[in-house]
Structure 1
Amino acid sequence: MGSTLIKNAKIVNEGVISEGDVLVEGNTIVEIAESISAKSPSVKIIDAEGNYLIPGAIDDQVHFREPGLTHKGDIESESRAAVAGGITSFIEQPNTVPNAVTQEALEAKYQIAAEKSFANYGFMFGATNDNLEELLKTDPKTVPGIKIFLGSSTGNMLVDNEAVLERIFSSTPMLIAVHCEDETTIKANLEKYKEQYGDDIPVECHPLIRSAEACYLSSSKAVALAKKTGARLHIFHLSTAREMELFTNKIPLEEKKITAEVCIHHLWFSDEDYKTKGNFIKWNPAVKTADDRQALWEALNDDRIDVIATDHAPHTLEEKQQPYTKAPSGGPLVQHAVVAMFEAFHQGKISIEKIVEKMAHNPAKLFKIEKRGFIREGYFADLAIVNAGQPWNVRKENILYKCGWSPFEGYSFKSRITHTFVNGELVYQNGKVKDIRKGQRLLFNR
């Protein structure tokens, strides 16, 4: 690998935007200065032309579907879409087939990614009602954390035994990430609507079935259990105003034992959008009211919410077009997440510095990821250049997800990713992903 000099950039890092240059040698950032001259004719020079240079986003919650569900997506296709969207590292969830609930199944996923991934990768270990002994073998230096589904998931991954939950929370020093929805509440709500509509329930009922009450009941229990046991808890994809009372902004992120995440779709859509988007915005937890969305934005900006992620979860068009009870929840987002947040910047909802904090710095801090998430000398050169004034339209022809659709299809974004670097390699430039799989396994300072 050679050297690359990025010149004339607006460098966004640690709450400051400064104009300058960045020199990359091999996979590492070696110099950041107001002006750097190339010391050799072999140095590749990229003129950022006054555009924003940001640390590559770290998406702490994706479902790339490999192994076992590769008709929807796979590590190669979805990581390609991720780097096109300025996401240079991802943390994938364990509800593949087989579920990553044994060390052997977990390592099999790492072996696939080592051959196929365009982006850096980490894989969560999945908890069940009966795999505590296996869970405790998880290496905190090479695995990001433990994932617990407190709402239904693929296979045997619903942990609904309270004694088991307390043992997991008490036994592991690792970060525990949870999907919080109360299954009993959801089942009762679903039966009520099935009696009224059969299988063809209007999708507008989704946030009433997977209700705000179901979310709060589950997340409040998880928070109480974490406080009781001292566990390190991270709650994924929060979706309601009421849940915001469970989190604090009174201490620095590094001191928080309980942290919070919001996803792009809960910040972008509301229940009004079911009329036009239907099952294509059917997620779990459900997209809820405009008031809930506003509360999420407020909590994001005042630091009760720490991280922005995608919960990228592709399904085929055929699957999504089935009746409500058969259509799976989830949608693809990694290619459009960063530009969607830049759109929110244009709308006055968030600053660019805050976007970088929530999508790069904080995931790196929260998971203690080694030498990533910042533009710092000595750190891996995971970088993206964003032109905030180059509009483009999302069309089928430029969607890179294997499933071939996006909830943003037809939308015109004001900003675009022009370049993405993964470990110092220029893997994406002006609409084209190069066939360079330079993703590395994420390591953790624990």
Structure 2
Amino acid sequence: MSALVIKNARIVNEGKVVEGDVQIVGDRIDKVASSIAVADSDQVIDAKGAWLMPGMIDDQVHFREPGLVHKGTIATESRAAVAGGITSYMEMPNVKPSTTTLDALAAKHAIAAQSSLANYSFYLGASPDNLEQIKQLDPSSVCGVKVFMGASTGDLLVEEPAILEAIFRESPVLIATHCESGPVIAKNTERLALPGKDFTIDQHPLLRDDEACYQSSSLAVSLAKRFGSQLNVLHITTAKELALFDAGPVENKSITAEACVHHLWFSQDDYAALGNQIKCNPAIKREQDRVALLQALRDQRIDIIATDHAPHTWEEKGQPYLSAPAGLPLVQHALLTLFDQVKRQELTVAQVVEKVAHNPALRYRVAERGFIREGYYADLVLVDPNQTTPVTHDNTYYKCQWTPFNGVTFSARVVATLVNGQVVYDGEQPLQSAPIGEALRFDRG
């Protein structure tokens, strides 16, 4: 059988950077070596010294399908994801109808099987009345249960202590939480309100402040400790919350923390220029919080970097602050923001790979992905630090067709992305329209 051979790469894997070649046969990595001979029938990609890393496993995206497809679809957003070096994603339940039943999970799998360019899994959303559905989840096929603790609306808001306790006690899979305290946000809103004046975007991090985050995340951590739950607290934004989490290797933890690329890139100083484009929940906060998050990544207190990709239309984002929805499109440029962090010496390239590929695979127990290992699936990305990536609204692949990085030129370039052994992005455009992605499987006892 002919192979695809990647030659002359700087392979970033398991804490090391080594020069070498990788041979792919079918959908698997067949051989990793310092030099691999090439047969006449083999396809060859000359990496020319670019970094070769396992593809990013994004444990938090909102692709908006079903029900919100004017913002994005699994097809459009997975296309943007592979252009950004993301080869697998875990998608959130706040669509229409909300993903709160096993039937709704199956329906999303059916859509992805027909349209996704990247590998996929879907969270079941916790609601006040779906504990029996949660208890029936198959740990080998479902990434986790998403709990919106005090910061959502409709059937996905879970605030009652007895219901939260039951979810943390009974869930057979990892629990991922959005932690912001509704009562604290309400108190802040009352305290900061001025007669005759509307709130503005610069007040967003004041309304949803560090205390709102800490009150909720500390509750989640206490529940997980009480019931022995597997907990991943999503999108940490404050220095105050970091004391809740232990430093050390992710393999040794049952309670973990995640940071998102926009909270590592932007600070509240950017609201003046970008306004609602960077309105998100939890809010982008102070520069000292951003700096603390980066330090926590280096200290192994924060374990995973994700995107929380959440597209809305330009018209929706152009509404007044209180009406504009929270969330921004990120998957196409997330990895590039991190390679700029490498250039700034905030992170090493090995740390980036650990946080975006190795640790998500280990934390969620993703089967045979997240590493460059013989026998593993060939989910790979080549990043060239000697090429740049100028970004405009017009050169995005998002259905919403805008980016908060408009006008930025990143210091590296994604030059190839492979999913299950197939080149799906060549550095210029996505090459596939047929579904390439597969449902993720999880090795959980």
Describe the superposition over 1:1-23 as per-residue Cα deviations: whole angstroms up to 9, x where unpaired: 95200000000000000000000
Aligned residue for 2:359, secondary structure, equals helix
In the alignment, structure 2 segments of 5+ residues that lack a partner are none
- RMSD over aligned CA atoms reads 1.1
Corresponding position of 1:256 = 253
In the alignment, structure 1 segments of 5+ residues that lack a partner are none
**1:5-404 mapped onto 2 (5 Å cutoff):** 5-38=5-38, 40-196=39-195, 198=197, 200-250=198-248, 252-404=249-401
Distance 1:123 1:307 in 2: 18
Preserved contact between residue 96 and residue 154 of structure 1 (Cα < 8 Å): no
Distance 1:261 1:268 in 2: 15
Distance 1:437 1:347 in 2: 37
Aligned residue for 1:156, secondary structure, equals helix
Aligned residue for 2:132, secondary structure, equals helix
Higher mean C-alpha deviation, range 395-404 or range 146-155: 146-155
Distance 1:56 1:301 in 2: 20
Aligned residue for 1:190, secondary structure, equals helix
Distance 2:294 2:317 in 1: 28
Task: Measure how far apart 1:346 and its partner are.
Answer: 0.5
Task: Measure how far apart 1:42 and its partner are.
Answer: 1.8
Higher mean C-alpha deviation, range 127-136 or range 360-369: 127-136
- TM-score under structure 1 length normalisation: 0.98
Distance 2:388 2:246 in 1: 37
- TM-score under structure 2 length normalisation: 0.98
- How many corresponding residue pairs? 443
Task: Measure how far apart 1:29 and its partner are.
Answer: 0.1
Task: Measure how far apart 1:188 and its partner are.
Answer: 2.5
Letter in 1 for 2:147: I
Distance 1:154 1:182 in 2: 13
Preserved contact between residue 95 and residue 155 of structure 1 (Cα < 8 Å): no
Task: Measure how far apart 1:396 and its partner are.
Answer: 2.1
Letter in 2 for 1:149: F
Letter in 2 for 1:253: V
Letter in 1 for 2:442: F
Task: Measure how far apart 1:249 and its partner are.
Answer: 1.1
Q: 1:408 aligns with which of 402, 405, 408?
A: 405
Aligned residue for 2:4, secondary structure, equals strand
Task: Measure how far apart 1:395 and its partner are.
Answer: 1.1
Distance 1:56 1:320 in 2: 30
Task: Measure how far apart 1:196 and its partner are.
Answer: 4.0
Q: Alpha carbons of 1:154 and 1:70: their partners in 2 closer, same or farther (altered >3 Å)?
A: farther
Task: Measure how far apart 1:193 and its partner are.
Answer: 4.0
Task: Measure how far apart 1:134 and its partner are.
Answer: 1.2
Preserved contact between residue 67 and residue 96 of structure 2 (Cα < 8 Å): yes
Preserved contact between residue 99 and residue 155 of structure 1 (Cα < 8 Å): no
Aligned residue for 1:338, secondary structure, equals helix
Letter in 1 for 2:62: H
Task: Measure how far apart 1:172 and its partner are.
Answer: 1.8
Preserved contact between residue 388 and residue 413 of structure 2 (Cα < 8 Å): yes
Q: Alpha carbons of 1:392 and 1:296: their partners in 2 closer, same or farther (altered >3 Å)?
A: same
Letter in 2 for 1:323: P
Task: Measure how far apart 1:192 and its partner are.
Answer: 4.0
Distance 2:146 2:212 in 1: 19
Task: Measure how far apart 1:363 and its partner are.
Answer: 0.2
Aligned residue for 1:121, secondary structure, equals strand
Task: Measure how far apart 1:41 and its partner are.
Answer: 1.9
Distance 2:77 2:339 in 1: 21
Describe the superposition over 1:159-193 as per-residue Cα deviations: whole angstroms up to 9, x where unpaired: 00100100111112310000000011112222444
Q: Alpha carbons of 1:119 and 1:154: their partners in 2 closer, same or farther (altered >3 Å)?
A: farther
